[in-house]
């Protein structure tokens, strides 16, 4: 099981949101590149990067920071946030050297584009499935889409997606534990590689998610507040 320290970038800074709300954010660093270096030095094998400006606005000025992170660390980086067309996917994977891109809104609204990308890039395409009260949320978590996360997971499997990032929005940034039961359902009923995200604040949560069969866990706020030590999480994941 892979532990992914999260770096969420907004307006050039490393931030964490609460329940996906841009009005409830905390800035943890003015230098996301330094944060990436720190996570790698502590043993991270993969970094989870989110371009929040891209996610919320569809465009972003964070590209230079993302490039600098890729140049500075030697571990793979996955990126999500505002990736909504084939040109952007090709640019990130072929030109920049991102290891895996995470599609959200585009995976739902443009199934042909998703299918084309999966055929071309295979496991380098992941899909973020973000849920609020049993429904999928899109466009930076601002809109709801009338389908359950499990239904969407099965659709993604059927077009060849191998990996999803599953987030319970109401848990995100709250530090009160992940939604274990729905995450387990996703693992058992889709057969996908499920990376769990949202609410993880204690090493016991990682243990429970590992038992549920997830392939990875994304940890954000708990690392920045010191509630979880990255080294402990990695040891448990191994």
**Tokens standing for 11?**
């307006």
85 catalytically annotated: no
The catalytic position among 51, 53, 130, 172 is: 130
Residue 101: which of 215, 86, 151 has the closest Cα? 86
The catalytic position among 8, 51, 53, 172 is: 8
Convert the chain into a string of H (helix), E (strand) and C (coil). Answer: CEEEEEEEEECCEEEEEECCEEEEEEEEECCHHHHHHHHHHCCCCCEEEEEHHHHHHCCCCCHHHHHHHHHHCCCCEEEECCCCCHHHHHHHHHHHCCCEEEECHHHHHCHHHHHHHHHHHHHHEEEEEEEECCEEEECCCCEEECCCHHHHHHHHHHCCCCEEEEEEHHHCCCCCCCCHHHHHHHHHHHCCEEEEECCCCCHHHHHHHHHCCCCEEEECHHHHHCCCCHHHHHHHHC
**Per residue in 9-55, pLDDT tens?**
999 998 877 665 666 778 888 999 999 999 999 999 999 999 998 87
Residue 144: what pLDDT? Answer: 60
**Tokens standing for 129?**
């499935």
Structurally, at CATH architecture level, domain 2-237 sits in: Alpha-Beta Barrel (3.20)
Residue 141: what pLDDT? Answer: 47
| Phi/psi at 115 (5° precision) | -60, -40
d(CA 25, CA 27): 7
8 catalytically annotated: yes
Query: By the 8 A CB rule, do 51 and 81 touch?
Result: yes
Q: What is the pLDDT tens value at each position of the chain, 238 positions in all?
A: 999 999 999 999 988 776 656 667 788 889 999 999 999 999 999 999 999 988 777 778 899 999 999 999 999 999 999 898 999 999 999 999 999 999 988 888 899 999 999 999 999 999 999 888 778 876 544 556 678 999 999 999 999 999 999 988 765 555 667 888 899 999 999 999 999 998 899 999 999 999 999 999 999 999 999 999 999 999 999 8
**Per residue in 102-121, pLDDT tens?**
998 888 889 999 999 999 99
Residue 133: what pLDDT? Answer: 77
Residue 161: what pLDDT? Answer: 97
Domain spans of the chain? 2-237
């Amino acid at each position: 099981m892979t532990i992914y320290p999260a770096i969420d970038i907004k307006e050039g800074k490393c931030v964490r949101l609460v329940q996906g709300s841009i009005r409830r954010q905390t800035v943890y660093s003015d230098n996301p590149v330094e944060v990436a270096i720190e996570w790698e030095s502590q043993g991270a094998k993969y970094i989870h990067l989110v371009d929040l400006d891209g996610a919320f606005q569809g465009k972003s000025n964070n590209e230079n920071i993302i490039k600098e992170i890729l140049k500075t660390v030697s571990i793979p980086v996955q990126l999500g946030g505002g990736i909504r067309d084939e040109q952007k996917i090709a640019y990130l994977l072929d030109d920049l050297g991102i290891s895996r891109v995470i599609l959200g809104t585009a995976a739902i609204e443009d199934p042909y584009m998703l299918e084309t990308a999966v055929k071309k890039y295979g496991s380098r395409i992941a899909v973020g499935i973000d849920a609020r009260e049993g429904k999928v949320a899109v466009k930076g978590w601002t809109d709801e889409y009338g389908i359950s996360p499990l239904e969407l997971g099965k659709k993604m499997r059927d077009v060849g997606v191998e990996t999803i990032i599953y987030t319970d929005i109401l848990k995100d940034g709250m530090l009160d534990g992940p939604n274990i039961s729905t995450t387990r359902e996703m693992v058992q009923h889709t057969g996908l590689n499920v990376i769990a995200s949202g609410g993880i604040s204690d090493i016991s949560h990682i243990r429970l998610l590992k038992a549920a069969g997830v392939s990875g866990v994304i940890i954000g706020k708990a690392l920045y507040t010191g509630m979880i030590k990255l080294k402990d999480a990695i040891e448990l994941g191994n």
